[in-house]
Structure 1
């Protein structure tokens, strides 16, 4: 796709944002429905413990509390990604021509991302859960991501997270087992994030034109490392310890849970397919994705 075709795509995405966007600040988004107290924070099948002996030994109310805590962790990672995206991309575009179609859409995307972060925070509060501190390694990686990482790597890492959340949230938003505020926020995020993913894919394609083999190799590996850290960060020992569960037992159950590995591989499949088509999937990256249970 040439420059003029890319510009036409970015203009179309901005027009789409003007036609189809939501006010996620409306209190109605977070209003509970009758029966919500007995509903999960996310589809139970997305819990890393689903189907394990530990899960089977839990009462239904304990499972509900578990998934509400786990979704807080998942959405907390989502906020971390969206804030990091804005810092990295706005820094890179600070001196760019603001009339460029891609820069104009970036402004709109950042507005969306801020509202998504606010939306996730409000949704978690509405179901009586709370966020958990991140691992220090993830915060260090976040600093590197915000200040050092270059364009195709930044877009690649963000697209990795967006693609995984898209698959998860399509499931959450259509499940009667999930509390209404989470279903509604998942729906809004899926609709609005579809534009962001199209934007990120095209920005990656544009950046890959004329890229040296060495830089492509380095970028490929860094994207894989970033996706590895995102996938691993979704499981936070503090979540389980806060629930009074013994971490060593939890970790053993998760490590042996084939269902968990399959669901996360399914979530990563669209992104892995994109990387393969764009030549961003070499032997080293494949090894990292296998270690992450994403391939």
Structure 2
């Protein structure tokens, strides 16, 4: 394929996504009823996706304790979402320094960044509305987060985007119609799933294009190290602080969560589609498989 044909294909994808953005985009400040009170007795995440669901600790908890755990896990996940979308936007901004500012591809990157800014606003406001507190980065985490945007470039940028988007998206799709879910959270998920579908399509096309163009060493590197995401998410999704805020023994709660076969199944289901895509494109090498498996995603 010639360089002009590659460019045209990239422009065609961007054109379709831009048209989709015009048809179905949201402004959470008005598309969510922030004045509506929370529904007493409803969960902030469906019980079946919570890290302790089915464990001895879960069985010993009262219904109000389980709902409080769902509040804290939801606030933790939304906080992680804010961190990731911040990193992604920084990486995309760096990419824009080297792209044609008049292209449709650049225009869609800017559109996606606008979506992510609204998502961060939506997540922050949801945490406040839930009556929870955001989860902050620890010192060493803050150092890592400030380094990552400099590392996310080329193939790594698009693979990292998929890792940050698809695992959350798959779980949301399976649970957004759960009748036990708070209406505000359900609406948030509907908005996020709709707009992330375009972001995922854009990132997948980015991976396919980079795999076709990049040097074998880059493909080997990215395919071997992306499994770090599995180890990282394992720790982030079982943040000891959220268990402590829920009134639980944080050390024992994390131990039971890590050993919880039900939670591992939730993780595997969320990663299944992305794992197949990465494998198909040579982006799931042995070192990454080992790390994703250790994280409970394979």
* Contact 2:230-2:297 within 8 A present in 1 as well: no
Once the two structures are superposed, the pairs formed by residues 66-145 of structure 1 within 5 Å of their partners are: 66-145=69-148
Once the two structures are superposed, the pairs formed by residues 1-295 of structure 1 within 5 Å of their partners are: 2-26=6-30, 28-32=32-36, 36-295=39-298
Q: What is the distance in 2 between the residues matched to 1:286 and 1:137?
A: 26
Superimposed CA distance per residue, residues 6-64 of structure 1 (whole angstroms, 9 cap, x where no aligned partner): 2111101001000111121117433436x712111111111100000111111111100
Q: What is the distance in 1 between the residues matched to 2:140 and 2:275?
A: 24
Q: What is the distance in 2 between the residues matched to 1:250 and 1:230?
A: 16
Number of equivalences: 294
Sort the Cα spacing of 1:278 and 1:129 in 2 relative to 1 into closer, same or farther, 3 A: same
Q: What is the distance in 1 between the residues matched to 2:191 and 2:31?
A: 14
RMSD after superposition: 1.7
* Contact 1:96-1:103 within 8 A present in 2 as well: yes
Q: Secondary structure at the match of 1:286?
A: helix
* Contact 2:243-2:253 within 8 A present in 1 as well: yes
Superimposed CA distance per residue, residues 148-170 of structure 1 (whole angstroms, 9 cap, x where no aligned partner): 33221122112112111111212
* Contact 1:10-1:101 within 8 A present in 2 as well: yes
TM-score, with structure 1 as normaliser = 0.94
TM-score, with structure 2 as normaliser = 0.94
Sort the Cα spacing of 1:258 and 1:227 in 2 relative to 1 into closer, same or farther, 3 A: closer
Give unmatched runs, 5+ long, in structure 1.
none
Report runs of 4+ in structure 1 exceeding 4 Å deviation. none
Q: 1:177, CA displacement in angstroms?
A: 0.6
Give unmatched runs, 5+ long, in structure 2.
none
Q: What is the distance in 2 between the residues matched to 1:31 and 1:220?
A: 46
Superimposed CA distance per residue, residues 162-202 of structure 1 (whole angstroms, 9 cap, x where no aligned partner): 11111121233211111111100000000011000000111
